[in-house]
């Protein structure tokens, strides 16, 4: 029985490699494979998680069968927005089940208005955080004008009756929801903070036996709250989207030890003005033997998983 599963896993890995090579050609693409990360049985469908190359920003595209989910929407400048939309077309996005905006900063909500104006979006999720910017006001207006169902993630201190959330579904840390065969648990925000990075919606996605942790720009203060609220097992993940573009303000040692990832993705711009990712974080990741991939060096990072195996592919052409 064990042998059968092993053969099946190896066959799938070969298939993955073949598929990726065939789909993307050789060129600048680079594929690495990894062995089974869990004892889970492989599932019939592949989940693709793409950390899109959107410069000094976050933009993540999840594809499952012919369904799509977006976590963050890149930068707000017109060039960046056009690039983000081009990437969605490249990956054949035709409608969107979920648009999740982790927090209101311009490098996360960037093309949200374009997405809402271009695609049919079923659900929008955002944190119940107040933030004043032209871009965020426009984004909220576009959400209100759309047909999307709105899902608000509150902090522990949010009022029972939410003023901005009429008709919205309300969530808090610990709540769960599903998208197709992917199961999500909301881990943050927990308590309110003046630093809007700590309003970031943090999600752990589970597909079969494989887990992803999406952190937005959560900083150490919120990471510590997660460590208090959840067990290490509840925080553990195979793939970590490193918080806040690899800034030293995030990914503290205890949090990283709890998550204990095998892969880490850093989304940041080439030669960005913040010096992201910071050396201390790269050292911390390499010390525990995590495979790190960076959008500034390798382009879009794609994780393909069947719920048991993970294959990583990077593509400088987007």
Question: Interface residues with Zn ion (CB under 5 A)?
Answer: 105, 107, 197, 217
| Residues forming beta bridges with residue 264, ordered by sequence position | 240, 292
Torsion-angle region of 200 (φ positive above 0: left; ψ -120 to 50: alpha; else: beta)? beta
Task: Yes or no: say if 46 and 67 are a contact pair by the CB < 8 Å rule.
Answer: no
210-214: strand order across its sheet: 176-179, 182-188, 202-207, 210-214, 239-241, 263-266, 291-294
In order of 83, 231, 304, the CA distances from 87 in angstroms are 6, 37, 17
Reading the block at residue 281, the tokens are 């974080």
CB 161 within 8 A of CB 184: no
Show Cβ contacts of residue 296 under 8 Å, excluding neighbours closer than 6 positions.
266, 268, 269, 270, 271, 272
Distance CA 303, CA 46 (A): 10
The answer to whether 203 and 58 are in contact (CB under 8 A) is: no
What secondary structure letter does DSSP report for 169?
E
| 208, HSE (Cβ side, Cα atoms, 13 Å) | 20
Burial 160-196 (b: 16+ CB within 10 A, else e): eeeeebeebeebbbeeebebeebebbbbbbbebbeeb
């Amino acid at each position: 029985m064990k042998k059968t599963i092993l053969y099946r896993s190896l066959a799938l890995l070969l298939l993955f490699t073949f598929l990726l090579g065939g789909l993307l050609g050789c060129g600048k693409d680079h594929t690495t494979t990894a062995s089974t990360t869990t004892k889970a049985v492989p599932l019939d469908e592949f989940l693709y998680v793409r950390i899109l190359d959107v410069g000094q920003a976050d933009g993540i595209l999840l594809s499952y069968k012919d369904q799509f989910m977006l976590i963050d929407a890149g930068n707000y400048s017109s060039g960046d927005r056009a690039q983000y939309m081009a990437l969605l077309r490249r990956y054949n996005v035709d409608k969107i089940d979920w648009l999740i905006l982790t927090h209101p900063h311009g490098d996360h909500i960037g093309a949200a208005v374009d997405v809402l104006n271009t695609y049919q979006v079923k659900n929008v999720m955002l944190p119940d955080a107040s933030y004043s910017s032209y871009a965020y006001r426009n984004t909220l207006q576009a959400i209100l004008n759309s047909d999307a169902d709105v899902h608000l993630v509150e902090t522990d201190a949010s009022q029972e009756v939410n003023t901005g959330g009429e008709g919205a579904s309300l969530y808090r840390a610990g709540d769960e929801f599903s998208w197709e065969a992917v199961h999500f648990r909301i881990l943050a925000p927990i308590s309110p903070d003046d630093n809007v990075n700590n309003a970031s919606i943090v999600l752990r996605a589970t597909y079969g036996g494989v887990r992803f942790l999406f952190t937005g720009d959560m900083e150490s203060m919120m990471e510590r709250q997660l460590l208090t609220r959840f067990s290490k097992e509840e925080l553990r993940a195979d793939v970590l989207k490193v918080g806040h573009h690899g800034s030293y303000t995030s990914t503290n040692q205890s949090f990283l030890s709890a998550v204990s990832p095998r892969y880490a993705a850093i989304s940041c711009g080439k030669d960005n003005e913040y010096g992201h990712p910071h050396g201390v974080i790269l050292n911390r990741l390499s010390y525990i033997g995590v495979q790190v991939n960076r959008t500034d060096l390798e382009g879009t990072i794609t994780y393909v998983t069947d719920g048991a195996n993970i294959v990583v592919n990077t593509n400088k052409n987007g």
